């Protein structure tokens, strides 16, 4: 019964997607919006196929994915490391909480001028902005996860005379892992968005640069093809990370 329900939801989701494509094509047929600004699904698909055939779209997709992953991995490592150190120490949380609350709402785009001043309009600047923007979900989730460990577990660990490192890695980290993984998924999408924004600002080779070039030249099929690829990157990366999360947290399933 549950299996049939899952299949039903998937079929319904597919139907909604097809319906949106049909509505898109209907709007193009009726010319409610000029074809200069809104190409049809067929023209967009042709631009997508042609872009991958020539290799240009594939190369720019790879460049964007690389920047996204570099920044996200760097942010995840820093977020988990710093979050574990801060979350496991009440004194550190008390001292650093005001600074974190000051930096947390700062939009990543606000540090772009700082990044340009240090790194120029370079690939390093884009990766730095991506890392800064995608750091906060993982950092804050890790701090919260380590700080929210059940106190009775800590007491039992101390009665068993476990070392501090053993408490952190065997009790606190597994307890905080669900929060950390959920935040890393959010950080990955943030990293993709910031990669595109950084490519547009620094004009580095990537999907952001292609979308900007296509919009300036009124090549709307290429523009929409780039946006479609971005959507697929976000979907695939989220599915892969979700599958990894399910596999890693299998121990939580009592069955």
pLDDT tens, per residue, the chain with 255 residues: 556 676 777 777 778 878 888 888 888 888 788 878 888 888 889 999 998 988 888 899 999 999 999 999 999 999 998 888 888 778 888 788 777 777 777 777 777 777 777 787 788 888 888 998 888 889 988 888 888 776 676 666 676 666 677 767 777 788 888 888 889 998 999 899 889 988 888 777 888 888 988 888 888 889 999 999 998 998 899 888 888 888 877 766 655
Neighbours of 203 (CB within 10 A): 13
Q: How far is CA 5 from CA 8, 12, 239, in A?
A: 5, 10, 20
Contacts of 195 (CB under 8 A, 6+ apart): 64, 67, 68, 71, 126, 130, 206, 208
User: Looking up tokens 């959920």, which residue turns up?
Assistant: 182
With beta carbons less than 8 A apart as the criterion, state whether 133 and 190 touch: yes
Q: Locate 94 and state its tokens.
A: 């008390």
d(CA 225, CA 182) in angstroms, rounded, equals: 29
* pLDDT score for 17: 79
For the chain, which residues make up each domain, given as ranges? 40-252
Q: Which CATH architecture has domain 40-252?
A: Orthogonal Bundle (1.10)
């Amino acid at each position: 019964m549950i299996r049939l329900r899952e299949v039903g939801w998937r079929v319904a989701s597919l139907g909604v997607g097809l319906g949106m494509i049909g509505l898109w094509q209907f709007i193009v047929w009726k010319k409610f919006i000029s074809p200069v600004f809104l190409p049809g699904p067929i023209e967009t698909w042709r631009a997508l196929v042609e872009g991958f055939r020539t290799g240009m779209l594939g190369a720019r997709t790879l460049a964007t994915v690389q920047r996204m992953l570099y920044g996200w991995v760097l942010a995840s490592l820093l977020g988990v490391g710093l979050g574990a150190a801060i979350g496991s120490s009440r004194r550190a949380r008390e001292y650093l909480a005001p600074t974190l609350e000051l930096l947390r709402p700062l939009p990543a785009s606000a540090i772009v001028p700082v990044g340009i001043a240090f790194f120029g309009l370079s690939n390093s600047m884009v990766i730095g902005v991506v890392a800064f923007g995608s750091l906060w979900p993982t950092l804050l989730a890790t701090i919260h996860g380590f700080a929210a460990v059940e106190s009775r577990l800590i007491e039992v660990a101390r009665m068993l005379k476990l070392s501090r490192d053993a408490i952190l890695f065997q009790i606190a980290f597994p307890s905080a892992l669900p929060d950390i993984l959920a935040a890393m998924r959010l950080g990955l999408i943030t990293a993709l968005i910031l990669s595109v924004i950084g490519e547009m600002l620094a004009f580095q080779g990537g999907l952001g640069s292609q979308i900007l070039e296509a919009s300036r030249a009124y090549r709307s099929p290429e523009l929409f093809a780039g946006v479609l690829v971005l959507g697929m990157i976000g979907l695939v990366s989220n599915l892969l990370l979700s599958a990894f999360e399910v596999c890693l947290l299998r121990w939580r399933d009592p069955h």
